Structure 1
Amino acid sequence: MNYRNGYNTLLVALGLALLAPAAAQQGTPAGAEAPAGQRAKAWTISDAMIPMRDGAKLHTRVFVPARPGPALPFLLLRTPYGVDDSEEALNSRYRELAEDGYIFAFQDIRGKFASEGKFEMLRARRAAGDANAIDEATDAYDSIEWLIKNVPSNNGRVGMLGNSYLGWTTVMASLDPHPALKAVAPMASPADMWMGDDFHHNGAFRLSYGFEYAYMMESGKGSAQFPFDRYDTYSWYLALGALGNVNRRLFKDQITSWNDFAAHPDYDAFWKRQAFSAHGRETKVPTLSVAGWWDQEDFYGPLTIYRELEKGDRRGLNHLVVGPWRHGGARFGPGDALGAIQFDSATAKYFREQIEVPWFGFYLKDRGALDLPEALTFESGSNRWRRWDAWPPKTGVEQRNLYLGAARSLSFSASKNDDGGQFDSYLSDPAHPVPYRHRPIQATYFPGGSGWSTWLTEDQRFVDGRPDVLSWESPPLEADLTIAGDITAHLFASTSGSDADWIVKLIDVYPEHLSSNWALSGYQLMVANEIFRGRYRRSFETPEAIAPGAVVEYPFSLHAQNYTFRQGHRLMVQVQSSWFPLIDRNPQTFVRNIFEAGDGDFRPATQRIYRSASHPSHVTLPVVVSPQQ
C-alpha cells in the first residue's frame, strides 16, 4: 500500500481500517501525456465505508492528488450510478477541476452498489425536528464530517456538484448544510417530479422515461436495462396498451416507483413533500444552478431551484447559468453544437473553465474575484452570452402576444372576427398517437446510441402536416426578434371527449434557401414546448372531467428561453394532443386514475383550437426591447 505523505500510516494509527486502498492504479496526469509505460501516478486512490448516524455505511472512493502540495478542499459527488468510472471521469468530465487541484470523493448513495441501507428514489427531506430521521442531507453531513476528520491534508472546506440525480443530492445537502460545505453547483437537478421534471409535466405522465428509469434503478442494487424485444419502442409501448398492464404483465408490483406512480396520479402530499418548492428558507450556501435550454429531462428543475432560493437570498449567494445544452451537456465535450444546431463557440468548455473553476476557486480557495452576474444565459440564434441582473429580466423586456390566426397564420395582431367558425380542428386517436421524435425510437438507454439525448433539437417537419398536428406560421421576420424570460401558452380549446392533453410548441423555421448551411434549409427547431393534461385545469390535486364541446382556456408555461429568431426566419406554433411514448396516451375518456384505465377507455376525440376575438389562442413572448449587455 503506497500512500504518500504518510496517509496510510496515519489511518492505521487512528485505527480507521475502513479506508482501504484500492488496487494500484496508474492514471494519466490531467492535462499531460507521458510516454507509454512512463506515466506518473496522478492519484492516491482509496475506498472507505463511511458510517452514517443510523449505522449504515456508505461506500466512498477518495482521490488525493499524488504529488505533495498545499492543503486542498474536497469536491464531493454523491451518486446512485456507481463510482466505478470515477477515475475516468476525473480525466474527462471533471478534467478542468482536477487540474486545478482538489481532493475528490465519489460516494454510492444509500442502498446503491456497494453502499449499505435501503435505496429510496429521491428520498424526501426528513420532517422538521425529527432528530432520529435520515435523508440525503444527513448522509451528506455525516460524510463531510468523516472526510474532514479522516483524510489528511485537507483545508476544511467542501464543495458539492453533480449532474441530474447528483445535482439533486447536492441541492438536498445545501438545505441543512455541514458548516464546511462552502459552495455548491448543482447541474440539471430535478425540483418537482410531478410539475415539470423527469416523471410528469403538469400531471401528464412521462411514460418511457418513468418506466425505463424506474426499472433501471429499482430492479437491483446496480443498474439494469429493460429487455425490450423491439428496436422501435414506439411499437412496443403501443402494444403494451393501458398503464395497468405494466404491473399485471411485467413488474408484478416489484418496482416501488412504479407503484408510487400508480398510487399517486395527482399532485398529492407524496409529491409535494419531495418538491423543492416546499422548502423555502434562507440561502445559506453559495449556489450556482446550471441548466440547459434543450435539457430533455430536467430543465424545469434548475430554474425552479434558482427561483425558490432567490426568495431567501439576502446576501447575493444565488446564481443561474443556462447554456445551449442537453441534459448535463455542460459537463463534457466542447458544447459547440447540439444535434444539427451550431453555436459558434465551445460553450461547455467555456462554462467549465471560465465559470465553474473560478466559482469553486473563489469559495474553496479564496482565489480572485468572482465575476459572475445574477444570471448568465446563452442566447441561441445570435449565439452569444448575455448577463442579467435578474432572471427573468425585470427591465428591457415587453410581453407581446403571438396570436393563432385564420389560414394557419401567426402574428402579433389579434383577430377582430368573432363568428362561430373561428377554430381549427383535428382528430386525436389514441390508437395512432403522434411520435415525440423520429422513428424508430430506441430505448432511452439503448447501448447502441439512443436519440433521446438530442430529441428536443430534431427537425419538427417529421410531424408538420400530420392530420392530428396543427401548425400556424408567421411571415418571414423583417428584423431579428429576441426573447428573454418566461413563455406562456393561452390555449382556448374544446374536445368531444371528457379529458385531453394539449401540447404546444414554439418553433423557429429556418429560411428555405439557407446558403450558409444547406442542411438546415427549412429546418423547424423547437425553441420551447410543454404539455398540459386537461383534467388538471382547475386543480392539480383534484382532477375533473372536461365537459364535451365546452370551450376552455388552458394557460400554462412553456418555461423560459433566451433566443434570437433571425431576420428572414419564421415563427411557428404547433398544437397536438399526443406525444408518444414520451407521454402516456390520454384515454380522452375521463377515468379517475389513468393508471386504472382499461384498454376500452381509449377513444378518438375531435379537438378544436379557437382563434376568435372572444377566444384568442396565443403565446405570450418576453420580447427584448432594450438589452442590458
Structure 2
Amino acid sequence: MRHQLRIGAGALVALCLTVANAPSQAPDADSRFERTEAMVPMRDGKKLFTTLHVPKEPKGPVPIILLRTPYGIDGRAERLLRNYFKDMIDDGYAFVLQDIRGRFKSEGTFVMTRPARDPNDPKAVDEASDTYDTIEWLLKEVKGNNGRVGMLGISYPGWLAAVAMLDPHPALKAVSPQASPIDMFLGDDFHHSGAFRLSYGFEYVAMMETDKTNFSFHFDRHDTYDWYLKLGALSNVNRKHFKNALPTWNDFVAHPNYDTFWKTQSLEPRLTRVTVPTLTVGGWYDQEDFRGPLKMYELLEKHDKKGQNFLAVGPWNHGGWASGKADRLGRVPFDSDTGGHFRKEVQAPFFAHYLKDAGKAPPEARMFLTGANTWATYDSWPPKGATARKLYFHPKGKLSFDPPPERAAEASEYVSDPANPVPYRPRPVRPTYPGPEWPEWMVQDQRFTHGRPDVLSFETEPLAEDVTVAGAMKVKLFGATTGTDCDWVVRLIDVYPEDYKKPPELAGYQLLIAGEPARARFRKSLEKPEPVKPGAVEEYLVDLVQGHHRFRKGHRIMVQVSSSWFPVIDRNPQKFVPNIFEAEDADFQKATQKVYHTPAFPSRVELDVIPARTN
C-alpha cells in the first residue's frame, strides 16, 4: 500500500493544550453524562475504540455529536465537555469520540490522509466508510437518539469531518470542519505555494513517525534557528537524522513538485456538492491551516443551492476558539470574549438548528474585523461591493496609492545570503511543539526584521482615513535576481502610531496581517519548475489569501520584501537544482535581488477594500 502523507502536527494538539490549560468553567459537566466504552466494528472486521457520553436525564430524544481523531480520546471528552462542547450541553446531545483506525486503542493500520476507497470493492475502507459504519452502529446502540448526527473537529479532526460529508451517512445532518487543511502543496501545513515549511514539516514527521506516541525531537541547541542553519541542505536530514526511515519525509523528497501524489490527496477537486449543512471555521492568525477553511467555503459555495454553506472566521490562532475567552493573542487585544461568542452564538445554534429544529440557521458569513475588533455579518464572502485598491512601491521605501512616476528610480535592491537568512520570528526560535511562541508568532511585533539590509520596507504616510480590507490580498512583484532561483517573501503589516495609547505597549507596533512566499522556480508552473534567467525582470504573484482588517486612520501600511523566512520556510539555494530536497551544501549561494517600481514594472499590493458604512 502506498504511504500517504501525514497531516498537521497541530491537529488536535493545539486543542488539547488550550483545553487542558483552560479554567474549568463547568466542573461537574461530565457528571451529567453516562460514560461507556465500545469497540465499534467496521465493515472489514476491524474495531475502533470509542467513548460514548449520553445524558443521564435527557429531556427527549437527543442528537449525537461525533468527533473522530488520531490524537487519542482517553480522558478527552471530560475536558471538552467543560469547554468546546459546554454551550451545547443544555440543548441536549450525546457526545461520541473515536480513535481513528490504527491509532491508540483502535485496531487496523493507520494511514494518514487515507485515500478514497474503491467504490466497487465492498470491503474497501476509508475515513468516510469508517464514519458511515460508526454512525450506523451509534443509531442502534445509543439509547434515546433522535436519528440525527453532527460532526465537528479542529485541524485533522476537521479534515475527517470534511471527508465524512463527501460520502455521508443519511443520518449525518450537520458538519463543521474547523481549521481543516485542503491541499498540502498549495497551502496549509507543509507547503505554501510549493515552498516547503521546514521547521513545521521536520518536527511533525519526527513527532508522528519516530514513535507511536507523540515524540518531540531533541534539539541540542536552545535556538532552533541556529540548529536548522547548522543542519545545512535538506539532503542532510536523512543522512544525519531520519536515515530514510520516516515515510513522510521520504515523500517530501520524492515529490518536490505538484505531481499526482499531491493532487490525489487534495480535497479541492472533491468539493463539488454540498451534501449536508456545513459550517466552516477558521482563524485570521491560524499559523497552520489558514488557507484551507477559506478555500473550502469558496468551493462549496459554488454548489450551494439550498443556502446551507456557512463560514465563521475569528481573530484566532490554530484552534483558538476551542476554549477560554480568546480576548487577546499575545500582546494584541480583541476587546471581547471572541471564543465564547463563537461557541455560544455560532457553533451551538448551528447544530441546534439542523439537529433539533431549534432556532434559526446562522448567518452566511460571521467574520471578525481585526483592527476594529468587531464582528460583521455578510450575505456572501467576500462581501459584495468590494473594490480593488492598489498600493504601489516607490523608491526610498515609499508606498502609495499613486502609481510610480515616469522618472522613478528603477529598482530597490538587497543581497540575499542563505548563510544569514531572515528569521520568521524573534530569536531564539524555540521548537514548534511544545514551544510557547509557535501559537502566537503571527501577531509578534515585526520590528525585529525592520532595518535589516536584506529586507526592503515600503511604507505609506499616516492614513488620512480608515482602509478596510475584506477579501483578496495579492502582491504583484516585478523582480530580478543574479541567481537562477530565489524566493520572494512578502509581508503586509499594520504599523501603529508612535503615540498609540490603547494599550500604550502597542506604540509603533508592526502587526503582521499576512505573509506568504513565492518560489521563483514555480512562477510559471507548479508541476514543471524551471530556472530563472539571471538579471531578467519577471512578474511574481504572491497570494496573501484573504483578510478582514481595518487599517485605522493615523496608522501606516507597510510591505516588507525579503528572500528568506527561516526556518518556517526552507532556504532557497538561489541556484536552480532539480530537487531542493536533494541539494547539497555547495549549491547555496548569495544573490542580489532587485524589486522594480517603474511605470513599466509597477510592483504593488492589491487589496479588496469596502467602505466603512458596509460594516
What TM-score results when the alignment is normalised by the length of structure 2?
Answer: 0.94
Determine the C-alpha separation between the residues in 2 that align with 1:523 and 1:257: 39
Q: 3-state DSSP class of the match of 2:134?
A: helix
Tell me the residue number matched to 1:518. 504
Shift of 1:68: 4.4
Shift of 1:182: 0.4
Determine the C-alpha separation between the residues in 2 that align with 1:359 and 1:148: 21
Conserved 8 A contact 2:468-2:612: no
Determine the C-alpha separation between the residues in 1 that align with 2:115 and 2:295: 17
The reply on whether 1:410 has 2:399 as its aligned counterpart is: yes
Deviations 1:501-530 (CA, angstroms, capped at 9, x unpaired): 111111000001113322001000011221
Moved more, 421-430 or 96-105: 96-105
Give the aligned residue type for 1:426: Y
Tell me the residue number matched to 2:150. 159
- Give the counterpart of 1:60 among 36, 50, 60: 50
The reply on whether 1:601 has 2:587 as its aligned counterpart is: yes
Q: Which runs of structure 2 are paired with 1:41-60 in the superposition (5 Å)?
A: 41-60=31-50
Give the aligned residue type for 2:105: A
Determine the C-alpha separation between the residues in 1 that align with 2:26 and 2:381: 40
Conserved 8 A contact 1:398-1:625: no
For the pair shown, which has the larger CA radius of gyration, 1 or 2?
1
- Give the counterpart of 1:71 among 29, 53, 61: 61
Query: Identical aligned pairs, as a percentage?
Result: 53
Give the aligned residue type for 2:404: S
Deviations 1:143-166 (CA, angstroms, capped at 9, x unpaired): 111111122121111100011101
Conserved 8 A contact 1:502-1:531: yes
Conserved 8 A contact 1:444-1:452: yes
Tell me the residue number matched to 2:486. 500
The reply on whether 1:305 has 2:293 as its aligned counterpart is: no
Tell me the residue number matched to 2:555. 569
Determine the C-alpha separation between the residues in 2 that align with 1:247 and 1:179: 46
Q: 3-state DSSP class of the match of 1:224?
A: coil
Tell me the residue number matched to 2:98. 107
Shift of 1:338: 1.0
Determine the C-alpha separation between the residues in 2 that align with 1:58 and 1:265: 35
Tell me the residue number matched to 2:538. 552
Determine the C-alpha separation between the residues in 1 that align with 2:441 and 2:234: 24
The reply on whether 1:176 has 2:167 as its aligned counterpart is: yes
Deviations 1:19-67 (CA, angstroms, capped at 9, x unpaired): xxxxxxxxxxx96567xxxx99332111111111122211111111233
Tell me the residue number matched to 1:289. 280
Shift of 1:89: 2.1
Determine the C-alpha separation between the residues in 2 that align with 1:332 and 1:628: 31
Q: 3-state DSSP class of the match of 1:378?
A: strand
Tell me the residue number matched to 1:536. 522
Deviations 1:229-275 (CA, angstroms, capped at 9, x unpaired): 22211111111111111111211222111111111111111111111
Give the aligned residue type for 1:124: P
Determine the C-alpha separation between the residues in 1 that align with 2:234 and 2:89: 45
Conserved 8 A contact 2:67-2:96: yes
Q: 3-state DSSP class of the match of 1:600?
A: helix
Determine the C-alpha separation between the residues in 1 that align with 2:407 and 2:511: 32
Q: 3-state DSSP class of the match of 2:447?
A: helix
The reply on whether 1:350 has 2:341 as its aligned counterpart is: yes
Deviations 1:544-586 (CA, angstroms, capped at 9, x unpaired): 0111111000013101111111111001000011111101111
Determine the C-alpha separation between the residues in 2 that align with 1:536 and 1:285: 37
Seen in structure 2, the aligned counterparts of structure 1 residues 286 and 570 have a Cα distance that, compared at 3 Å, is same
The reply on whether 1:425 has 2:416 as its aligned counterpart is: no
The reply on whether 1:359 has 2:345 as its aligned counterpart is: no
Tell me the residue number matched to 1:80. 70
Tell me the residue number matched to 2:390. 401
Conserved 8 A contact 1:490-1:619: yes
Tell me the residue number matched to 2:369. 379
Q: 3-state DSSP class of the match of 1:41?
A: helix
Shift of 1:128: 5.5
Shift of 1:374: 1.7
Shift of 1:299: 0.6
Seen in structure 2, the aligned counterparts of structure 1 residues 500 and 130 have a Cα distance that, compared at 3 Å, is farther
Give the aligned residue type for 2:100: I
The reply on whether 1:198 has 2:198 as its aligned counterpart is: no
Q: Which runs of structure 2 are paired with 1:179-328 in the superposition (5 Å)?
A: 179-328=170-319
Determine the C-alpha separation between the residues in 2 that align with 1:41 and 1:401: 57
The reply on whether 1:457 has 2:448 as its aligned counterpart is: no
Shift of 1:216: 1.5
Structure 1, unpaired ranges of 5+? 1-29
Conserved 8 A contact 1:478-1:568: yes
Determine the C-alpha separation between the residues in 2 that align with 1:31 and 1:568: 40
Determine the C-alpha separation between the residues in 2 that align with 1:40 and 1:381: 38
Shift of 1:333: 1.2
Give the aligned residue type for 1:378: F
Conserved 8 A contact 2:326-2:337: yes
Q: Which runs of structure 2 are paired with 1:440-451 in the superposition (5 Å)?
A: 440-446=428-434, 449-451=435-437
Shift of 1:126: 2.9
Tell me the residue number matched to 2:380. 390
Q: 3-state DSSP class of the match of 1:427?
A: strand
Deviations 1:280-336 (CA, angstroms, capped at 9, x unpaired): 422111000001001000010001110111111111110111111101111111111
Seen in structure 2, the aligned counterparts of structure 1 residues 392 and 244 have a Cα distance that, compared at 3 Å, is same
Give the aligned residue type for 2:554: G
Q: How many residues align?
A: 591
Determine the C-alpha separation between the residues in 2 that align with 1:40 and 1:522: 46
The reply on whether 1:477 has 2:463 as its aligned counterpart is: yes
Conserved 8 A contact 1:91-1:98: no
Seen in structure 2, the aligned counterparts of structure 1 residues 330 and 407 have a Cα distance that, compared at 3 Å, is same
Q: 3-state DSSP class of the match of 1:493?
A: strand
Determine the C-alpha separation between the residues in 2 that align with 1:135 and 1:361: 29
Shift of 1:222: 2.4
Tell me the residue number matched to 1:437. 425
Determine the C-alpha separation between the residues in 2 that align with 1:207 and 1:140: 33
Moved more, 519-528 or 87-96: 87-96
